[in-house]
Structure 1
């Protein structure tokens, strides 16, 4: 157990104990804090308090956090769609529904488990849980990822991402009709103030920029191509919710009444970067998955039906 002490500051005065703790310590989720308070694992000024206790300036909160479980990562014979591979880099087309790397809730069946079976040499910079992983895409987002096979390649690719030199284009299906042909969403993204399981456009967030161009209109939906200038967590999903055009099928940021499917209609279509050894600019593309193309055809048919009725 890791024992911690934290002092209440002005920003959380008069907040419930569980909410205040999750705000003051980003490593403690609101759900964890609620459980800890109920179990009496948190004291305020050496006294056990109820969850509804309102913290006061200068209160000293004492609590213990369980040490993170050490994960044992096993190589698994899982099919991989390898677009390109050499001694430094692997480019893979990740299917929708696959988690990129293991976590407490997903210790097997991830892209990392598959990579470890496919390739014995992966960069060690991100440790045993995320070997080779330079950047990520969400579980229910499909498409291209670059993976580093050694530390030198990893550092070079990560630096290119940091300097916004790598090109990443996504195809997204969003709710509503976007009336202009292209645009830029420049809004900082950070942890939501009201739901710590979500990201949001917030004043204290990190700079985030997404460019987009409209590809096709359908009744009540728009198909867009997005270019990421930055790579914040859930950036495209958060940005399009912010402009009131949330992604179709998105269970976290979209409306309840949305298109059927296994998650958001978002695909990492194009990836371009400078090869860390040769200096060559390399560009890769991955076609839309079948479920995405099927939905587009369904929406096209609905558009034709609407036109015929009119």
Structure 2
């Protein structure tokens, strides 16, 4: 299905849906109601309303208008996104730590995503491995084949990708069963009290910011263990062990403790300290990864050294 925009251009659209507003949404803002009814983000729902693609009783309304139970709601849903494809591309700084018939372990540089995704046009681990001639397992969605865990674009460190179908199945199972040891090092603002502890707080999408995550009642169980390795006047170096693997988990939990990762402006870091340490991303590094090899059944462990920008920040803190 297509429609004509105000500029006269043809744009693809999805399905048109019509239904009465249920009693449970009576009095809710229009953009919130559209978001709840159709499983859209608040941003996408607000965009639809502002574009005139959500009508109440046949007429467009401001997104802040309150809907009444029984009113007739007509929504033109956006077209489903086109799945991104993997493009082989040389990724500067991407280093292969280990490779065999079943797995490839990489040291991921900053500014690289694990796999292609809507809205991301930068380099990816999967694209970099394809450029290096590595054949990845075909399990999983086309753009995420072989991916058994991920690191944020702004997080560096060690990461494993499955090359065989057996490895994909067993590693996915091991990550889900919390049988993989994942250790990170993080430099955070201030000094934690106690110096060693555990954060057990559920995480889900932030209620108002689509690009952020937050501790939310009813979110997915999330457990982070931390231990202070070194203290500086304005910051602390932590060893962090993840028991679960939620998106942005370390960043969210440490920010919740009011000790965000230095440089993590998204989660409340002090920009002045970030500038002094010459950081333009969070000081967070996937230091160690240990798991049972999917074919040999032996325990394997891989360690990643700090990249130059994080090492420089540490030197400044120690001076």
Task: List runs of 5+ in structure 1 lacking aligned partners.
Answer: 302-310
Change (3 A) 1:9 1:145: farther
Query: How does 1:277-292 map onto structure 2 within 5 Å?
Result: 277-292=295-310
Pick the aligned partner of 2:111 from 94, 97, 100. 97
Query: How does 1:120-139 map onto structure 2 within 5 Å?
Result: 120-139=134-153
Distance 2:297 2:70 in 1: 55
Q: CA RMSD in A?
A: 1.9
CA contact (8 A) 1:97 1:262 kept: no
- 1:72 alignment partner in structure 2: 85
Change (3 A) 1:92 1:40: same
- 2:50 alignment partner in structure 1: 38
CA contact (8 A) 2:196 2:228 kept: yes
Where 2:69 maps in the other structure, the secondary structure is coil
Query: How does 1:41-52 map onto structure 2 within 5 Å?
Result: 41-52=53-64
Distance 2:72 2:250 in 1: 39
Where 1:129 maps in the other structure, the secondary structure is helix
Query: How does 1:144-223 map onto structure 2 within 5 Å?
Result: 144-223=158-237
- 1:265 alignment partner in structure 2: 283
Give TM-score scaled by structure 2 length: 0.88
Change (3 A) 1:179 1:51: closer
Change (3 A) 1:90 1:9: farther
CA-CA distance at 1:209 after TM superposition: 0.2
Distance 2:25 2:263 in 1: 35
Distance 1:5 1:199 in 2: 31
Deviation string, structure 1 residues 197-236 (Cα, Å, up to 9, x no partner) = 2111011100000000001111121110100000001000
CA contact (8 A) 2:206 2:212 kept: yes
- 1:16 alignment partner in structure 2: 29
Deviates more, 1:140-149 or 1:47-56: 47-56
Distance 2:18 2:270 in 1: 41
Distance 1:131 1:179 in 2: 41
Deviation string, structure 1 residues 263-288 (Cα, Å, up to 9, x no partner) = 10000000001111111110110011
Distance 2:248 2:20 in 1: 32
Change (3 A) 1:5 1:224: farther
CA contact (8 A) 1:248 1:254 kept: no
CA contact (8 A) 2:83 2:143 kept: no
Deviation string, structure 1 residues 64-102 (Cα, Å, up to 9, x no partner) = 221212433221133430111100001101011112211
Change (3 A) 1:105 1:180: same
Pick the aligned partner of 2:124 from 99, 105, 110. 110
CA-CA distance at 1:35 after TM superposition: 1.8
CA-CA distance at 1:59 after TM superposition: 4.3
Pick the aligned partner of 1:248 from 253, 262, 269. 262
Deviates more, 1:39-48 or 1:270-279: 39-48
Aligned length: 300
Give TM-score scaled by structure 1 length: 0.90
CA contact (8 A) 1:167 1:273 kept: yes
Change (3 A) 1:23 1:264: farther
CA contact (8 A) 2:274 2:280 kept: no
Distance 1:120 1:213 in 2: 37
CA-CA distance at 1:60 after TM superposition: 4.8
Change (3 A) 1:52 1:219: same
